[in-house]
Structure 1
């Protein structure tokens, strides 16, 4: 079992004690350290990187949000706070979960399980030659799991993308170019605003790709690459 290093940052001693107890009860967590404010945590993280950050928000000297804004390489962060009103701002900072005090062990465990699942797919090629057939992507208030095989198309909408499957359409604040670089070989860009999954193509009509009830245009800049890939898949 992989063990993940965890840092607790909270200015209240009872909260630090409770979270330390929760970490000790969780088999795949190792307590790397405990800090009482953001400045102390910043110094710690500059010297000792961790996988998971359990972070309070309202603290003297430096708030939890200030700490995250200072970090260039952020651990996966779970906010643990008494204040519900910071939830939206927390997700803007890419926190993976938001726990409101008092936190039960079951709620803590659920947040850790989600975080560990996310960490488990971030495997470098050196560690594993087998790539997962799914990925996670952040939406406004959630982290959503997708199978590569279920995605029909991805559409750019300004600074957002829309991931389209037969059953749902999900928006995420990611560029189309960024996600294109992470997609497997079944995907091909056919337009500056569209990436499609070759497995879901029903028809190709002149300069359009038909997937289900949707029609996606093939632009001149991507036409040659698309039809070359299509030719490689023809039987005759």
Structure 2
């Protein structure tokens, strides 16, 4: 299987180097090359990819702005000369963070990490129909959750908080990672929140009420949320 990869970088030498690296990895297929975030936004709306190699500081639209705008995000590897963005990368659920100039060995390590994640994702998709629970590791325990009991999942930097009516559990997992393991009743409504539609009590303008908690619906996820909500309305 070949994984589709998109390169987004405003510097021609950086693009050339990454194109060369991609050509050396047999499991990768270059889907396209973009020189800025706006160009990449148009490309991704027409042709989704598996992996995104993304520069951060670019004219017109930065790499972070691009990820903020995308509802369906490819597995992303930041490629940048600016180390100070590493923490922000965790918040945006990127799989790895490469510092320029990038060696082929470091590039290959990041790709192997991404491919391993994608392989797990495929296996999870195949099992999703028959599983109604999952296990997740905390600092000291491995905890079982039924999908149906989860009300919401909140991102807190590199951690997530899983919220049920009776408990709140923290785990060192990205929100994107767990989103890909959840069944169809779960929907992302904000960069920091996934909610279970089965537990919605009310939708109030730009917020969802679950129990006594209000969860914000952000502009980037609003359309997808209301489409799924509409699919479940009786009248």
Q: Smaller-chain TM-score range?
A: 0.5 to 0.7
Q: Match for residue 181 of structure 1?
A: none
Is 1:79–1:95's contact at 8 Å kept on the other side of the alignment? yes
1:192 to 166, 172, 175: 166
| Distance in 2 between residues matched to 1:45 and 1:22, nearest whole Å | 21
Q: Which runs of 5 or more residues in structure 2 are unaligned?
A: 170-235
| Distance in 2 between residues matched to 1:129 and 1:42, nearest whole Å | 30
1:90 shift after superposition: 1.0
| Distance in 2 between residues matched to 1:86 and 1:131, nearest whole Å | 40
Q: Match for residue 104 of structure 1?
A: 103
1:194 shift after superposition: 6.8
| Distance in 1 between residues matched to 2:7 and 2:75, nearest whole Å | 12
1:123 shift after superposition: 1.6
Q: Match for residue 70 of structure 1?
A: 69
1:172 shift after superposition: 2.4
1:193 shift after superposition: 1.4
How does 1:1-236 map onto structure 2 within 5 Å? 2-123=1-122, 152-153=142-143, 172-177=159-164, 192-193=166-167
| Distance in 2 between residues matched to 1:151 and 1:25, nearest whole Å | 41
Structure whose CA Rg is larger: 1
How many residues are aligned here?
160
Q: Deviations over 1:10-66 (max 9, x none)?
A: 000000000000000001100000000000000000000000000000000000000
1:125 shift after superposition: 7.1
Q: Which runs of 5 or more residues in structure 1 are unaligned?
A: 138-145, 162-170, 178-190, 196-236
TM-score (norm 2): 0.59
CA gap 1:131/1:39 in 2 versus in 1, 3 angstroms: same
- TM-align CA RMSD: 3.5
1:174 shift after superposition: 3.6
TM-score (norm 1): 0.59
Is 1:82–1:100's contact at 8 Å kept on the other side of the alignment? yes
